[in-house]
Amino acid sequence: MSRIPPRQQNLEDPDKRFYVVAPASVRLALQQEAFRRDTDLWDLGGAVLSAWLAAGCPDFCDFPQESDGDESPSPSSSPLADSEGGEA
């Protein structure tokens, strides 16, 4: 019978690369953001995932959901839109 090994006190936590799947546009956007932050895609992606895990894996329900294009855009709340012939 195998024994469960005891828990260790001081474990190393080395960086590991792994693959994730996302649309090409998401990869490109992350790559561009990494460039703007003077880092690379792997490090920024890891930081984003680490922050998401640290935050308790939130669902981000407050962000707009992707639509199928069936919905019309919401009306503008700009005062200019109302003064230039927009419905008041």
Region 77-85: mean pLDDT is 49
pLDDT at 2: 83
Among positive and negative, which fits the CA dihedral 11, 13, 19, 24?
positive
Per the structure block, which two tokens stand in for 13? 């936590």
Between these two residues, 71 and 38, which has the higher pLDDT value? Answer: 38
Q: Where are the domains of the chain?
A: 24-55
User: pLDDT digits over 47-73, tens only?
Assistant: 999 999 999 999 876 655 565 555 555
Query: CA-to-CA distance for 54 and 60, rounded, in angstroms?
Result: 14
Between these two residues, 5 and 71, which has the higher pLDDT value? Answer: 5
Region 6-35: mean pLDDT is 94
DSSP string, 42-79: HHHHHHHHHHHHHTT----TTSPPP--S-SPPPPP--H
